[in-house]
Amino acid sequence: MISNKNDFFHEVTLRISSSLDIQEALQNLFDYLQNFIPMDTIGLQCLTAARSGIYAVAEVARDGAVSILGDEYDMVPVDDDLLGVINQTELNNDRVIIHNRPATLSQSVLRCFPHLATRSVITLLLKIKSDTMGGLLISVEGNDRYSDHHASLLESVKEPLALAMSNALRYQELVRLKNLLIEDNRELAMDMERVSGTQVVGADFGLSQVMEMVRRVAPLSSPVLLLGETGTGKEVVANAIHMMSSRREAPMVRVQCGAIPESLLDSELFGHEKGAFTGAIEKKRGRFERADGGTIFLDEIGELTAEAQVKLLRVLQEKEFERVGGTQTLPADVRVIAATHRDLAQMVREGRFREDLWYRLNVFPVQIPPLRLRRDDIPSLVQYFVERKAREMNLEKTPVIRADMLERLKAYDWPGNVRELQNLIERALILSRDGPLQFPELAPSSSMRPRISSRTVSGRPKTLDEAMAEYIKQTLNDTRGRIAGAGGAAEILKINSGTLRSRMRKLGIRVSRPAPQIEQKNR
């Protein structure tokens, strides 16, 4: 029994106000109230959005377990019976609802809190603001466990509990916004790391036509499809489109479609709800949600699975999506820029890429020429990469390149395009810090290397896959079938050996190694 109601009010106020962390505060309140009111659980609930839905903010059980159960995006719809009970309670100027018989509980309450099916329940209604009603819900196993005395105790502390509920919701919103800020800052940090590589070198020469197309399409929200060989700078062009658009103040989120495991692709693109699958311990925003109001760059779009293509098509058509495990439809105000080195039209004909998605993406295709077709850009690119890498390596002076070395760079065919040139410059800076840059591994002239024909025997232009397969076969022949390690095909092609093997499987390339020579021993 309570000897002094003022002491009771004072202690409840101290307990519920002991921490902004609603988990800790609710546990402190449980430890005290269980001495006066029978309880197995105590929780804070919220009825909001014109009272059309209810969700649990937090709950503490007798065994000490504490759990944050949701927010306004996890609401369970309420039925008219529950609304009627709440409205009638308010009309009677009352704040406490007692259900001593589980059979009388609303179905919407049981859908949200199934553990109440065998318990007596007492609820204190808390006025938070005009469109939000809170509730302190206490339950205990069995029937007829609560009385008017218990209701009177809760009624006496409704003001401090309502204030604590309001603070808890504000704190929860602060935590949510903090998490969003952390994610956005992470994306911004990644963007800042790329800032030094966003200059479009060659915009006035070899890429002049590309940049003219970029200037035309950038102010619009139309999808753009960037086509070109690996390493030609498709990401740099995508960034230029974003920076010239009205969306430049919003994020540009990059997705390497071929690098995300198929099982995680939906979660990465569209996010997931807490508990959507094993390991989903909290809600996560997907790439489309983080790019809201900005641009999403889908690199190597040809690597998307058939299922992911269907979901991407919905986003492009209906401008909306759902998180994995969620039911709420979210808007997608996102400009899509896709890129690929593959022949998507051929993939459509072969049934490996959806035709309707192809038409959606191919609104404004931009073909980026390989470096061997814009050799006049090589001096500018070399100078740019030398200066940039010299700064990164804290060199006292920028190394020079002799004219004959520059001519050798211009004569080379650059199968790895701009990326290969960038890697070559960085390697030369590491090896030639104290003198003119040297490129001993570079073939002296492209004429000394067999060229890859751009057409088949029948005269038909080769697809990108056919040309790539021929070049890989030629490189494997040069390395006598060696893929990994020093001097292997992967090193020459400047790609990971695992990536090369995967690409060989897709292109149907088999390694044919020469028979080993057996050394004859003298008898």
* Integer CA distances (angstroms), 72 to 46, 75, 76, 170, 216, in order: 8, 6, 9, 12, 42
CATH 3.30.450.40 fits 5-173, yes or no: yes
pLDDT of residue 214: 92
- 0.85 exceeded by pTM: no
The answer to whether residue 385 scores a pLDDT higher than 80 is: yes
Closest by CA position to 366, among listed 337, 407, 331: 337
pLDDT for res 195: 45
CATH class of 451-523: mainly alpha
CA distance 272 to 268: 8
The fraction of the chain above a pLDDT of 70, given in percent, is 80
Q: Which of 103-107, 412-416, 432-436 has the highest mean pLDDT?
A: 412-416
More confident residue, 479 or 409: 409
284 burial type by CB count under 10 A (0-12 exposed, 13-18 middle, 19+ buried)? buried
Give pLDDT tens digits for 89-99.
665 566 788 88
Q: Given this model, what pLDDT does residue 37 score?
A: 92
Pick the CATH number of 201-367 from 3.30.390.30, 3.40.50.300, 3.40.50.10860, 3.30.360.10: 3.40.50.300
Lowest mean pLDDT among 59-68, 168-177, 289-298, 470-479: 59-68
Q: Rounded to whole angstroms, how far apart are CA atoms 73 and 48? A: 11
Ramachandran category for residue 339: left, alpha or beta (phi over 0 → left; psi -120 to 50 → alpha):
beta
Q: Do 5-173 and 451-523 share a fold? A: no
Average pLDDT of the residues in 481-498? 79
Question: Is the per-residue pLDDT at 519 higher than 80?
Answer: no
**Dist. CA 432–CA 424, nearest whole Å:** 12
CB atoms near residue 312 (< 10 Å): 25
The chain-wide mean pLDDT, for the chain, equals 80
> 199-255 pLDDT, tens per residue?
577 666 678 888 899 999 999 999 999 999 988 889 889 989 998 999 988 889 999
Spell out the domain ranges in the chain.
5-173, 201-367, 392-449, 451-523
pLDDT band at 361 (very low <50, low <70, confident <90, very high): very high
Q: How far apart are CA 289 and CA 296, in angstroms?
A: 10
